[in-house]
Structures are given as C-alpha cells and as structure tokens.
C-alpha cells in the first residue's frame, strides 16, 4: 500500500483533464458576452452604430495616441464632436466716417442695421424669401425704347388674358357655341386633328371656346398650329396670318404656368418657339438677299439711265434752241402764249396718266407688305411669350431689333 501511493513532489500525469458539458457551455457564454457587444442607437438620428466599441467613451474627448484602428476612430469622432454644426463667415460691416450726414439717411440706416437673412435651428437653416432676389427680366440694351415699351405692354396684356381665360364662362355662353367652335381634341384621333387643322385656317377663336379647352387639348392644338405655321405665314394672306396669330395668342394664354406643366409639355412649347425663331431667321435672310440684289440692279440701271438721259438732254437742248428761234421769228406773241398753254395741258395730262398706274401698283403691293409685317409681329409675339412666361429665355435673342424707317423721319 505505501508503495502504490505517489509522492507529492512527483511529476504530473500526461493525461488531459476531462471537462464536462456544463463547464464548456458556461465558458463559451462568458466568452461571447465579453467579445460581442450589442451596437447602440444614436439618440439624435436613430442610426445603429457600425462599431459598438466607440460608444463606450461617450462625449469625452480623446487625447491619447492612436495605437490601433479603434483608437483612431475614437480620436476622429472626438474631433468631429468638438466642431460646430454650422460654419459661418463674419459679416462685413461698413463703417461710415460721418454718421451725422443726412444726405441718404434711409439708405445708410439699412446698410448699418443689417440683420441676418435666417437662422439655424434643429439641424435646419430657416430664412424668409427675399423679393429683391427674384429673377426679373431686365430690358435688353440693344432694343430701342419703343420696342421695350411694346414688350412691357405685351406682358401685361398676356397676364390679363391668362387671368380672364381662367374664369369659368356662363352656361348660356357655353351652350351658344356651334360646331365650328369645339372645346376638345381627343388624343389619337386623325379625323379630329384634320378638322382642327381646317378650323385654325378658316374660323376665328372665341374667348368662351378657349376658356372651355382643357390643358391637354390646348397643347394638342398648339402642336397642330406649330406644324402648319410656316405654310400659313408664307402664303401671303394677311387675314390668315391674323387668324393664326389670334389662335396662338389665345392658346398660349390658356396654357398652365410652367411650374404646373410636365417636361414633355414644356418641350412642346419650346418647339413652337424654336420653329417661330427659325421662320423669322429665314425671312430676314431672304430680305437681306433681296435687298442686295435690288441694290446691285439699281446701281447698274442708274449708270445706264444717266448716260441715256445726258444724250437726250443734249439733243433736246439743240433742237429746242433751233425751234424756239424759228418760232420767235415767224410766230406772233398771241400764238406763242396759246402754244405754251397747250403744252402745259399736255404735260399735266401725261403726268396724271403716269401717276395713276403708280397708285394702283402701291395698292397692289400693300397687301403683301402687310402680310409680311403681320407675320413678323406674330413670330415676335410667340418668341416673347414662350421665352418670358415658359422659361425659354435663350430664344429671346432671336427677336429682331426695330429699325426706324427713314421715310417716316423725313415726313
């Protein structure tokens, strides 16, 4: 028995100790609680933190050395917490040397007492709308004063038209509309589009009809008008040009504001403005070419006419002097005066006969000139309205500048 008992100072056995399942589960649970921490939610934003270990420090600033990644993140977070939420630059205050001067007291007071435009509260910047910073269309310097006044009046008239067409017409006026004044244009209806194309050229619009049109129908009718704009303007009929202008004016006034239109709808209005600008540019180019050709032809005709006139005057002077000398020698004074009266009557009759065709020619040329002028006014109106009221201000550069006629100045 004493031989079988091991000594207390003997070496330990090489066999491993047996660990029960209960001890293993306790050890694993304690290890998991120590290594895995649940992330916390940010009390301000409600966002769950991606690095749970950073929440232990709280709002305390970290001044230690960044030995590992967590320490570096903790240092960056502490620096971010120490910074203000909003950075503002100091407001420059203008100092007036002589504050007792009363030249412009109101302006100086407004400059001295400048209050902040807004304030920062609850992670948001709040400021009132400043009316003086709204975009205002400044008059173009290249336009004369008369043209600027015309554009101002045109804008006021368009605003009045828009407010008028937004009113609901009475039921009796709506019931009085005939078949020549429809109040809708269905989508994907070729027959209705052909009928509207005919009405735009043959029938004048009515205010009640325009007020009853819905927004979709207005844009569809405008697309039909835009496609036939060039053909109707170049036809040379002043009545047709006025009728097309009345339709364009009324339909643009019935359109909703640019903030209430979709992108494709604004694109249709821009297409109308671009088409009008292209037609106006072509008319200007045609006029310039015609003026250049007329100037060249007039120069050549003037040269030939002056030479022929000089020859005729030379021959006439010689024959006239010889004839007058012969008449003076043979004719008495009474016969000479009678001959002069007869010559005056023949000259007046000839002048009247020559002036009559000129008057008829001027009357014949008045209608084409009137149609061209009406077409220019129509195109200028479309470009101005689309550019000013529907956000297409780049098209305003296509408008032509009015040039005062020299004949008017001489009169």
Place of tokens 């007071």: 109
SS3 340: helix
* Residue 410's pLDDT band (cuts 50, 70, 90): very low
Question: Residue 139: which residues within 8 A CB-CB, separation 6 or more?
Answer: 148, 151
- Residue 323 has what pLDDT? 53
Residue ranges of domains in the chain: 140-171+180-298+365-401
Q: Is the pLDDT of residue 411 over 80?
A: no
Report which listed range, 61-75, 166-180, 279-293, 318-332, is most confident.
166-180
Q: Is the pTM of this model over 0.75?
A: no
What DSSP designation does 41 have?
B
- Residue 267 has what pLDDT? 92
Query: What b/e string do you get for 47-63 counting C-beta neighbours within 10 Å, with b at 16 or more?
Result: eeeeeeebbeeeeeebe
Note the pLDDT tens digit of each residue in 188-200. Answer: 899 999 999 999 9
Please, are residues 386 and 268 in contact by the beta-carbon 8 Å criterion?
no
Note the pLDDT tens digit of each residue in 279-314. Answer: 999 988 888 888 888 777 776 666 556 666 666 665
The span from the CA of 345 to the CA of 348, in Å, is: 5
What DSSP designation does 411 have?
-
* Residue 26's pLDDT band (cuts 50, 70, 90): low
Burial of 258 (0-12, 13-18, 19+ CB in 10 A): middle
The span from the CA of 380 to the CA of 398, in Å, is: 9
**How far does Cα 393 stand from its chain's mean position?**
3
The span from the CA of 62 to the CA of 60, in Å, is: 6
- Residue 171 has what pLDDT? 92
Q: Which residue has the higher pLDDT, 383 or 136?
A: 383
From residue 118, how far is each of 91, 93, 185, 230 by CA, in Å?
13, 17, 49, 52
- Residue 140 has what pLDDT? 62
Q: Which residue has the higher pLDDT, 147 or 21?
A: 147
Q: Quote the mean pLDDT of the chain.
A: 74
Residue 348's φ and ψ, nearest 5 degrees, are -65, -40
Say what the alpha-carbon torsion angle 273, 279, 281, 285 is, to the nearest 10 degrees.
180
From residue 8, how far is each of 11, 12, 14, 193, 329 by CA, in Å?
9, 10, 16, 115, 184
Report which listed range, 21-35, 73-87, 152-166, 308-322, is most confident.
152-166
Q: Is the pLDDT of residue 128 over 50?
A: yes
- Three-point CA angle 366, 292, 362, nearest 5°: 15
Q: Is the pLDDT of residue 395 over 70?
A: yes
From residue 327, how far is each of 122, 315, 319, 339, 344 by CA, in Å?
115, 18, 12, 10, 17
* Residue 72's pLDDT band (cuts 50, 70, 90): confident
SS3 156: helix
Q: Is the pLDDT of residue 83 over 70?
A: yes
* Residue 226's pLDDT band (cuts 50, 70, 90): very high
Q: Is the pLDDT of residue 94 over 90?
A: no
In CATH terms, the fold of domain 140-171+180-298+365-401 is Methane Monooxygenase Hydroxylase; Chain G, domain 1 (1.20.58)
Over residues 369-376, the mean pLDDT reads 83
- Residue 295 has what pLDDT? 78
């Amino acid at each position: 028995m004493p031989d079988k008992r091991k000594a207390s100072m003997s070496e330990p056995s090489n066999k491993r100790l047996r660990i029960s399942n209960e001890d293993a589960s306790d050890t694993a649970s304690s290890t998991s609680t120590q290594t895995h921490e649940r992330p916390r939610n940010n009390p301000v934003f409600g966002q769950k933190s991606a690095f749970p270990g950073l929440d232990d420090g709280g709002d305390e600033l970290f001044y230690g050395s960044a030995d590992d990644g967590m320490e570096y993140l903790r240092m960056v977070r502490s620096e971010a917490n120490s910074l203000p939420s909003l950075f503002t630059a100091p407001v420059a205050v203008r100092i007036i040397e002589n504050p007792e001067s009363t030249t412009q007291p109101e302006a100086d007071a407004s400059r001295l007492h400048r209050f902040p435009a807004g304030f920062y509260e609850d992670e948001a910047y709040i400021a009132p709308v400043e009316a003086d910073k709204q975009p205002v269309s400044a008059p173009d310097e290249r336009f004369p004063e008369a043209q600027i006044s015309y554009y101002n009046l045109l804008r006021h008239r368009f605003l009045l038209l828009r407010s008028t067409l937004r009113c609901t017409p009475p039921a009796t006026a709506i019931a009085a509309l005939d078949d020549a004044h429809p109040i809708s244009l269905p989508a994907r209806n070729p027959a209705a589009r052909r009928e509207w194309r005919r009405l735009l050229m043959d029938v004048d619009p009515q205010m009640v009809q325009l007020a009853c049109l819905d927004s979709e129908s207005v844009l569809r009718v405008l697309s039909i008008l835009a496609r036939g704009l060039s053909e109707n303007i170049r036809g040379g009929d002043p009545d047709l040009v006025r009728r097309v202008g009345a339709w364009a004016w009324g339909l643009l006034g019935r359109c909703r504001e640019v903030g209430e239109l979709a992108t494709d709808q604004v694109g249709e209005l821009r297409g109308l403005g671009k088409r009008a600008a292209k037609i106006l540019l072509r008319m200007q180019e045609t006029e310039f070419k015609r003026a250049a050709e007329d100037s060249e032809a007039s120069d050549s005709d003037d040269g030939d006419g002056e030479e022929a006139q000089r020859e005729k005057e030379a021959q006439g002077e010689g024959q006239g002097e010889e004839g007058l000398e012969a008449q003076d020698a043979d004719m008495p004074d009474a016969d000479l005066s009678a001959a002069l009266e007869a010559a005056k009557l023949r000259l007046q009759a000839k002048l009247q006969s020559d002036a009559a065709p000129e008057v008829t020619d001027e009357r014949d040329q008045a209608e084409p000139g009137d149609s061209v002028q009406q077409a220019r006014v129509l195109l200028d109106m479309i470009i101005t309205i689309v550019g000013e009221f529907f956000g297409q201000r780049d098209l305003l550069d296509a408008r032509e500048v009015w040039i005062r006629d020299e004949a008017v100045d001489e009169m």
